[in-house]
Structures are given as structure tokens and as C-alpha cells.
Structure 1
Amino acid sequence: MPSYSTTAAIDASPEAVWAVLSDVEHMPDWTSSMTSVEIIDGPNPPDVGTQVRIEQPKLPLAIWLMDEWDPPRHFAWISEAPGLTTQAEHLVEPLPDGRSRVTLAITQTGGLAWLLGNLVRRRTRRYVDTELAGLEAKVTQRG
């Protein structure tokens, strides 16, 4: 089961981080790993069951289903393709000094997970790292 996660401490409160991270339609404003994010079915702000269309450079258009939504700390969404299910998790944890620990993780399962996961492994890692760096820059820019 291919997976990747990255974590960083961000100099902002969990509430400030969540405000940016959970505004999913504005993700392309702060990460180059996404060119378009659009809620296509369900509430905005999202909740469990919300469907989101995401376009990413050099990847096929994907529909993601919000399968976990626990503000202001965690959300996860899944995307399914023949032989492959991808789950992306977003976790915000408070640190004792008022800052936040943010963990982004992606896991791929299914019959084609190893093959497809290995084909896009470098790009996946780069996109997850880019998302975390962009989030940190956006949150700390807001103050």
C-alpha cells in the first residue's frame, strides 16, 4: 500500500491554520499542486459526503468525496478510479506553545495501487510537500 506523509510545525494557531486549510475551493490560491478545486455536490463549507472536483498538473481530473470532516482538526477525502482508491488526510494539532502541527498524508489502495503508486510516487510526494509549504506560507502571511 503506497503512502506518504509529511509534518511541519507552523507558527500559527490551529484555528488560523484550519481557516485556510478547510477553505478547500481556495487551495489553488496557495498551492501550485492544484489548479482548480470546486465543490460540485454538498454543502460549502464541506462536510462528510461533499463531492469536490480537483484538477492537478499532470494528473487526470478527479472527483474526491469528503469521508471525514472533524473541524477544526481533521478532514480526509477519497478518490476512486478503476483498481485504485486514494485517500488524502489533513490533520491540525495544537502544540503547547500555541503553534500548530500539521500532517498531510496520502495513501493508495487497490489492485493497481503498487503499479500506479510507483509511477507517480515522486510527483505525489512533491505535491504533498508543495501543499504543506504553501499552507505554511499562506497562514504565516495572514498573521
Structure 2
Amino acid sequence: MPNYSTSTEIDATPEAVWTVLSDVEHMPEWTPSMTSVEIIDGPNPPDVGTQVRIEQPKMRLAIWLVDEWDPPRHFAWISEAAGVTTQAEHLVEPLPEGRSRVTLAITQTGGLAWLLGGLTRGRTRQYVNAELGGLKARVKP
């Protein structure tokens, strides 16, 4: 069960949404929740097994491993640190009339997940909401 999940509808096809969402190295251009995204091992666009270095404001540098990649509908990546595994999911669903629903979810597991989740809950929600809002503003129909 996600620690936090939110969705929005976008007036664009899943393919148009996926084009923006899957270009992970350009995420900092459209979301203030990321200052730097760099593929450090694997193909671009990513695939299962690709490692990505992500810098975010007020957070430690993290290495994320793409563990699910299903264009143009879904990708997820995981990061492990200090007894916590964090998974971030990105789901794009088709809607009638060429529209899409995008859902972003964060799930934390592990022995210290309760502690880290409690300490970062507000920032996590703020960053997920910023990513979703930035994606919606960036995608062109």
C-alpha cells in the first residue's frame, strides 16, 4: 500500500504523457522537486536495471534503480538507504477522447520506514504534488 498516492487527468494521450515522463534526465526542467537527474548506468531512455542519480532539494543524493518499465503505461524505480527502501511509481492510464490519468505513488518499506516516513511525510507529499503538477503543465496535447 502506498504511503502517498495522487492522480490527475491530462488533456493528452498516454503516448504524449509518456514522452515527457520517460525522458527522466529532463525532469528538473519541469518539476522543482528535482535539481538533477542523471542516468549513470544503463540506456536512455531507461529500462529495467538502469541506475539513475537524483538530487532533490533538502534531501540526500540518491541512486534509483528502475525495477519496472512498461511503455507507455508504467515505470517504477527504487532507492535504498539506511534501512528504508523507497519505491516511486508512475502510472499513465488512457481515458476517453485521447486523455490520460497519471498516478504517482511513493511507498517506503523496511525497518526504519516508519521513522523516515514520519520525518519526511510533508516534503514527500509536496514533491510528489509538484512533480504531478509540473508534468501536467509540461505535456502538450
TM category (shorter chain) comes to over 0.9
Match of 1:16 in 2: 16
Give the conservation status (yes or no) of the 8 Å contact 1:84–1:108.
yes
1:82 Cα deviation (Å)? Answer: 2.0
- Structure 2 residue runs of 5 or longer lacking an equivalent are none
Q: Deviations over 1:6-61 (max 9, x none)?
A: 00010111110000000000000000000000000011110000000000000000
Match of 1:110 in 2: 110
Aligned length: 141
Match of 1:138 in 2: 138
Cα distance in structure 2, aligned partners of 1:6 and 1:133: 11
The residue correspondences of 1:1-143 to structure 2 (distance < 5 A) are 3-139=3-139, 142-143=140-141
User: What secondary structure does 1:129 align onto?
Assistant: helix
1:2 Cα deviation (Å)? Answer: 6.5
1:98 Cα deviation (Å)? Answer: 1.2
Runs of 4+ in 1 over 6 A off after TM superposition: none
Amino acid at match of 1:24: V
Give the % identical residues: 82
Pair 136,2 (structure 1): closer, same or farther in 2 beyond 3 Å: closer
Give the conservation status (yes or no) of the 8 Å contact 1:2–1:117.
no
TM norm structure 1: 0.96
User: What secondary structure does 2:97 align onto?
Assistant: coil
Amino acid at match of 1:76: A
TM norm structure 2: 0.98
